[in-house]
Amino acid sequence: MKISFQKNNRKFSEIFLGALTWGAALLMCAVLIYIVGFIVWRGAPYLKPSLFSPVYNSVNVSLLPALVSTVYMTVFALALALPFGLGAAVYLAEYARRGRKVVRMIRLATETLAGIPSIIHGLFGMLFFVTYLGWGFSLLAGVFTLTVMILPLIMRASEEALLATPDSYREGAFALGAGKLRVVFRIVLPAAAPGVLAGVILAVGRIVGETAALIYTAGTVAQMPFAETGPPLVDVFSSVRTLSVHMYALTREGLHTNEGFATAATLLIVVIAVNAAAARLAGRVGRNGA
Amino acid sequence: MKYKRMTSESVMRAVFFLTALVSVLAVLLISLFLLVNGLPALAKIGLFDFLLGREWSPSDAPPLFGILPMIAGSFYVTATALIVGAPVGLLAAVFLARVCPPRLYRVLKPGVNLLAGIPSVVYGYFGMAALVPHLGASILSAGILLGVMILPTVATIAESALRSVPEPYYEGALALGAGHYHSVFRVVVPAARSGILAAAVLGVGRAVGETMAVIMVAGNQPRLPHSIFQGVRTMTANIVIEMGYAAELHREALIATGVVLFVFILLINLCFSALNRSSR
């Protein structure tokens, strides 16, 4: 009797644990679908052409200036962060000897940087770029703040991609008489490119969604970032708001919640597209790297 | 010819090295500027009056700058988020690492990444419209929303911890007659416990540092709360809400709030990397 009871008990707890894990996974899916569905359902009806007018005013609540500013902000921040992040990754993966004090320091700093919340990045940006360097609330201050923020992300993705490149590639190139530099630029980096790109795309997602780091660095002015000479030249010292900051500003005013949801839906669609692109690239890296 | 190549090799090596030092420089500059701008306020207000003061009223005469309500706010909101997010995150990690059929994994994993990639303002909009009308602008609303936000973080880190447990552990348990789920929960999960703990700690770091979503659902009253249905203000919210109009000592006090937050985050990160190291 006792034995069969234990057996039943075990069977029961096996089913219970199974239900628990499946339940958690289902709950997670349900939450994701609910959030995405909710935002799109609330925002989509208000995605009107007037939201995309070239000039923002309190009647049309146009998101176009914010969208254009977001694009410039993203491009500039990537243009700054990519060379530094990639260079650092090359040093760590190809040159650095493990266990050296400097190397450990660099890793510690990168880990720390990755863990710093965006509001602290924003405070630093305000104190250093806006006030100390005297750039004021500006596109430039926003770009530099974001650069510091995404640097560890790009470093990590690039380093992983470099390390995933088989050693036989390097050995083959060395055997043919290539120098270290040539091996890095002509062999290793091209092979690691998809992984680096996946990191870049993740960084784009991070920039597009960022708010706290930008409110007190780039400011909240809803205008195109263009210089007086006209587009596509930009005035890097003009204050601009990105899409995320725009959304936050709308909630502060409290009058345009519907337009806010429309902006949220737009932003969410951008983020989903960015994520899908990163996932496809990462999948390709996985297949090549193994 | 050979000489020239040697120099370009060593020059580029130095260039790579310098780019690697940028992150060190950034961390140093961040610490320096936060401390230089925040410490004077700490000196003027007094460390204990600042950290343990129960009253935050910058416009009173004399103004009071006690951030205990904000520290408590961050604590309560984070604790709620952990209660909501960590168990589900851990179970989801078990599912991803040990249960999920490969075809489902190819859909589910990007889903987890998307959950991590949704911007915090979007979460904030969701919380404002879906949680606040039912639960009020309260600790509970903020905790649930943050719980969802840290879910993918916990799940991802815990998943990789579970995956790094050697396969023979699981197989050995099976061979001894344990069922699939028993083997996973009684053998694999305990073996990965420091990695799982690290996942929870990273979740805490995310929750403490989260700003925009919290501002939109937590109510932001700078007071010590009596129940989870009351609103609170977190340290992060305090900075964003008042920095726009603060001046002089008030502004310095906000930067000092940032310093306190920074110290908390550094401690949390330290725990995380210590746990992470011991899990390897």
Tokens 């789920």 sit on residue? B181
Q: Report which of A8, A196, A37, A286 is spatially closest to residue B102, judged by C-alpha positions.
A: A286
> Which CA distances in Å does B131 have to A251, B136, B217?
16, 7, 8
Report whether B159 contacts B69 (CB < 8 A). no
CB-CB under 8 Å, A116 with B209: yes
Closest Cβ opposite residue B255 in set A92, A123, A205 = A123
Is the pLDDT confidence value at B221 over 80?
yes
Residue A1: band (very low, low, confident or very high) from pLDDT cuts 50, 70, 90 = very low
Q: Are residues A181 and A251 in the same domain?
A: yes
Q: What is the CA radius of gyration of chain A?
A: 24
Other beta carbons less than 10 A from residue B72's beta carbon: 19
Is the pLDDT confidence value at B245 over 50?
yes
Q: Are residues A250 and A152 in the same domain?
A: yes
Q: Are residues A27 and A164 in the same domain?
A: no
Q: Report which of A234, A289, A277 is spatially closest to residue A70, judged by C-alpha positions.
A: A234
Domain boundaries, position A108: 47-289
* Mean pLDDT (whole number) for A163-175: 87
Length of chain A: 290
Residue A2's pLDDT is 47
Q: Are residues A62 and A180 in the same domain?
A: yes
Residue B223: band (very low, low, confident or very high) from pLDDT cuts 50, 70, 90 = confident
In this predicted model, what pLDDT tens digit does every residue of A233-268 receive, in sequence order?
Answer: 777 888 888 889 988 888 887 778 888 899 899 899
Instruction: Tell me the percentage of chain A whose pLDDT exceeds 70.
Output: 93
Report whether B21 contacts A106 (CB < 8 A). yes
Is the pLDDT confidence value at A48 over 70?
yes
Tokens coding A256: 């345009």
Instruction: Tell me the percentage of chain B whose pLDDT exceeds 70.
Output: 97
Distance between CA B204 and CA B228 in Å, rounded?
18
Residue A33's pLDDT is 95
Using an 8 Å CB-CB cutoff, list chain A residues near B27.
Answer: 109, 112-113
**Which are the contacts of B178, defined by CB distance < 8 A and separation ≥ 6?**
B186, B187
Q: Report which of B273, B224, B269 is spatially closest to residue B75, judged by C-alpha positions.
A: B224
Q: Report which of B72, B238, B145 is spatially closest to residue A35, judged by C-alpha positions.
A: B145
Q: Are residues A23 and A115 in the same domain?
A: no
Q: Are residues A238 and A265 in the same domain?
A: yes
Tokens 């060395």 sit on residue? A174
* Mean pLDDT (whole number) for A40-60: 81
Residue A124's pLDDT is 95
Closest Cβ opposite residue A211 in set B108, B112, B120 = B120
Residue B234: band (very low, low, confident or very high) from pLDDT cuts 50, 70, 90 = very high
Distance between CA B222 and CA B19 in Å, rounded?
43
CB-CB under 8 Å, A152 with B125: no
Residue B23's pLDDT is 92
- How far does the CA of residue A267 sit from the closest CA of chain B (Å)? 8
Residue B97's pLDDT is 92
Alpha helices in B46-101 (DSSP H): 47-52, 68-94
Does any CB of chain B come closer than 8 Å to the CB of residue A24? yes
Distance between CA A189 and CA A155 in Å, rounded?
13
Tokens 């690697």 sit on residue? B20
Residue B77: band (very low, low, confident or very high) from pLDDT cuts 50, 70, 90 = very high
Tokens coding A176: 């043919």
* Mean pLDDT (whole number) for A27-43: 93
Distance between CA B172 and CA B181 in Å, rounded?
13
Closest Cβ opposite residue A181 in set B9, B88, B124 = B9
Distance between CA B111 and CA B105 in Å, rounded?
9
Best B125, B201, B271 residue to mutate vs chain A (most A CBs within 10 Å): B125
Residue A6: band (very low, low, confident or very high) from pLDDT cuts 50, 70, 90 = low
CB-CB under 8 Å, A22 with B121: no
Tokens 């988020």 sit on residue? B81
Distance between CA A85 and CA B28 in Å, rounded?
17
Distance between CA A188 and CA A90 in Å, rounded?
9
* Mean pLDDT (whole number) for B192-212: 91
Q: Pairing between strand B64-65 and B56-57?
A: antiparallel
Report whether A162 contacts A90 (CB < 8 A). yes
Best B3, B99, B108, B118 residue to mutate vs chain A (most A CBs within 10 Å): B118
Selected residues 96-115 of chain A with any CB under 8 Å from a CB in chain B: 96, 105-106, 109-113, 115
Residue B5's pLDDT is 59
3-state SS, one letter per residue, for A105-161? HHHHHHHHHHHCCHHHHHHHHHHHHHHHCCCCCCHHHHHHHHHHHHHHHHHHHHHHH
H or E element that contains B256:
helix B248-279
Q: Are residues A100 and A210 in the same domain?
A: yes
CB-CB under 8 Å, A148 with B236: no
Considering only residues A70 and B279, tell me which one the structure prediction assigns the higher pLDDT: A70
Between A173-187, A201-215, A219-233, B128-142, the lowest mean confidence (pLDDT) is in A219-233
Report whether B143 contacts B81 (CB < 8 A). yes
In this predicted model, what pLDDT tens digit does every residue of B155-173 receive, in sequence order?
Answer: 999 999 999 999 999 999 9
Question: pTM value?
Answer: 0.89
Instruction: Look up residue A63 and give its DSSP letter.
Output: -
* Mean pLDDT (whole number) for A213-233: 80
Residue A233's pLDDT is 76
Residue A276's pLDDT is 86
Strands (E), chain B: 56-57, 64-65
Is the pLDDT confidence value at A288 over 60?
no
Closest Cβ opposite residue B240 in set A151, A210, A212 = A212
Residue B85: band (very low, low, confident or very high) from pLDDT cuts 50, 70, 90 = very high
Q: Are residues A21 and A127 in the same domain?
A: no
Q: What is the mean pLDDT of chain A?
A: 86
* Mean pLDDT (whole number) for B212-224: 90
Q: Are residues A31 and A137 in the same domain?
A: no
Q: Are residues A186 and A60 in the same domain?
A: yes
Considering only residues B106 and A283, tell me which one the structure prediction assigns the higher pLDDT: B106
Is the pLDDT confidence value at A286 over 80?
no
Is the pLDDT confidence value at B279 over 80?
no
In this predicted model, what pLDDT tens digit does every residue of A170-181 receive, in sequence order?
Answer: 888 888 888 888
Q: Are residues A92 and A212 in the same domain?
A: yes
Q: Number of folded domains in chain A?
A: 2
Residue A144's pLDDT is 95
Residue A289's pLDDT is 38
| B183-207 burial: b if 16+ Cβ within 10 Å, else e | bbbebbbebbebbbbbbbbbbbbbb
Residue A32's pLDDT is 95
* Mean pLDDT (whole number) for A112-139: 92
* Mean pLDDT (whole number) for B45-49: 88
Q: Helix count (H) and strand count (E) of chain B? A: 14, 2
Residue B55's pLDDT is 86
Distance between CA A49 and CA A274 in Å, rounded?
24
* Mean pLDDT (whole number) for B68-90: 94
In this predicted model, what pLDDT tens digit does every residue of B57-71 receive, in sequence order?
Answer: 888 878 889 999 999
**Which are the contacts of B207, defined by CB distance < 8 A and separation ≥ 6?**
B77, B78, B81, B82, B85, B146, B149, B150
Residue B142: band (very low, low, confident or very high) from pLDDT cuts 50, 70, 90 = very high
Q: What is the CA radius of gyration of chain B?
A: 23
Is the pLDDT confidence value at B140 over 90?
yes
Distance between CA A228 and CA A217 in Å, rounded?
22
Report whether B26 contacts A113 (CB < 8 A). yes
Between A250-259, B46-55, B209-218, the lowest mean confidence (pLDDT) is in A250-259
Distance between CA B185 and CA B169 in Å, rounded?
11
Residue B81: band (very low, low, confident or very high) from pLDDT cuts 50, 70, 90 = very high
Distance between CA B205 and CA A109 in Å, rounded?
17
Q: Are residues A30 and A88 in the same domain?
A: no
Considering only residues A2 and B108, tell me which one the structure prediction assigns the higher pLDDT: B108
Closest Cβ opposite residue A18 in set B119, B181, B243 = B181
* B224 torsion bin: left (phi>0), alpha (psi -120 to 50), beta (else): beta
Tokens coding A211: 């708010």
